[in-house]
Amino acid sequence: MRLLVVEDDRDLNRQISTALSNAGYAVDHAFDGEEGHFLGDTEPYDAVILDVGLPKLDGIAVLERWRRDGRVMPVLILTARDRWSDKVEGFDAGADDYVPKPFHMEEILARVRALLRRATGHATSELTYGPVTLDTRSSRVVVDGAAVKLTSHEYRLLSYLMHHQGRVVSRSELVEHLYDQDFDRDSNTIEVFVGRLRRKLGVDVIQTVRGLGYLCEPPGGAPAA
Ligand code: CA
């Protein structure tokens, strides 16, 4: 899952970005409204954390432009604590959630998890597919009750496929959603990661759909409820 953090306070931006990347997300950041608007307009983010008070273009205007142009990714706005009008304007402009400043980083992480699972049609933080369980709170993966140790890229790949289970995901979509913009992207590495994941999981829950991409499906059957 790939996220964008738009926050002009550089320290705060770095803290949020670091916490999110430690939690297993690919993260891009922007420090003003124009840069943030451009990135959100041109890159396919799974969710955005958007400060309301931004230089060049304020957060509400950024959000209005995205929505007007059909950008539907979930957006969490950061508001000033005593500005109730920020929240009202934010929701009316198309925000999905808000966190008032100052906040605990855990709250941002929990709200991002909730936005991502809702956007992909899941109701809990723990995703299950066949014998595989992926806990988005702890970034842990368990197969048949045994923990499996994954690298951050392997985890991101599995997490993306499990969030979108039952749907064929192309290699180019994976490249766009697993790496931040500074990463040297090469779609061939996806195949390598899929191979490693299959070996580590020990069960074939990732199917290759020739010419189209990958499909997360448990061996021999329909998805678990
Ligand atoms: Ca600000």
Checking phi first, is residue 206 left (phi over 0); if not, alpha (psi -120 to 50) or beta?
A: beta
| Centroid of chain to Cα 20 | 9
Q: What is the pLDDT of residue 218?
A: 57
Distance from the alpha carbon of residue 91 to the mean position of ligand 1, in angstroms? 18
Distance from the alpha carbon of residue 195 to the mean position of ligand 1, in angstroms? 43
Distance from the alpha carbon of residue 44 to the mean position of ligand 1, in angstroms? 23
Q: What is the pLDDT of residue 183?
A: 79
Percentage of residues in the chain having pLDDT higher than 70: 96
CB 81 within 8 A of CB 55: no
Distance from the alpha carbon of residue 90 to the mean position of ligand 1, in angstroms? 14
Residue 34 sits in the same domain as residue 110: yes
Residue 115 sits in which domain range? 2-119
Residue 180 sits in the same domain as residue 97: no
Distance from the alpha carbon of residue 51 to the mean position of ligand 1, in angstroms? 6
Residue 223 has pLDDT above 70, yes or no: no
Distance from the alpha carbon of residue 78 to the mean position of ligand 1, in angstroms? 9
Residue 225 has pLDDT above 60, yes or no: no
Distance from the alpha carbon of residue 69 to the mean position of ligand 1, in angstroms? 24
Q: Pick 165 or 220 by higher pLDDT.
A: 165
| pLDDT tens-digit series, residues 111-130 | 999 999 999 988 999 999 88
Distance from the alpha carbon of residue 86 to the mean position of ligand 1, in angstroms? 12
- Average pLDDT across the chain, whole number: 92
Residue 173 has pLDDT above 80, yes or no: yes
| Strands across the sheet containing 75-80 | 26-30, 2-6, 47-51, 75-80, 97-101
Residue 100 sits in the same domain as residue 173: no
Distance from the alpha carbon of residue 178 to the mean position of ligand 1, in angstroms? 27
- Domain holding 59: CATH number? 3.40.50.2300
Question: Could you give the angle at the alpha carbon of 156 between the alpha carbons of 28 and 205, nearest 5°?
Answer: 155
Distance from the alpha carbon of residue 221 to the mean position of ligand 1, in angstroms? 49
Give the whole-angstrom CA distance, residue 155 versus residue 152. 5
Residue 205's pLDDT band (boundaries 50, 70, 90)?
confident
Give the whole-angstrom CA distance, residue 1 versus residue 19. 14
- Domain holding 216: CATH number? 1.10.10.10
Mean pLDDT, rounded, for 178-201: 87
The pTM score is 0.90
Q: What is the pLDDT of residue 185?
A: 76
Of 54-58, 86-90, 202-206, give the lowest mean pLDDT range. Answer: 202-206
Residue 220 has pLDDT above 70, yes or no: no
Residue 7 sits in the same domain as residue 115: yes
Residue 47's pLDDT band (boundaries 50, 70, 90)?
very high
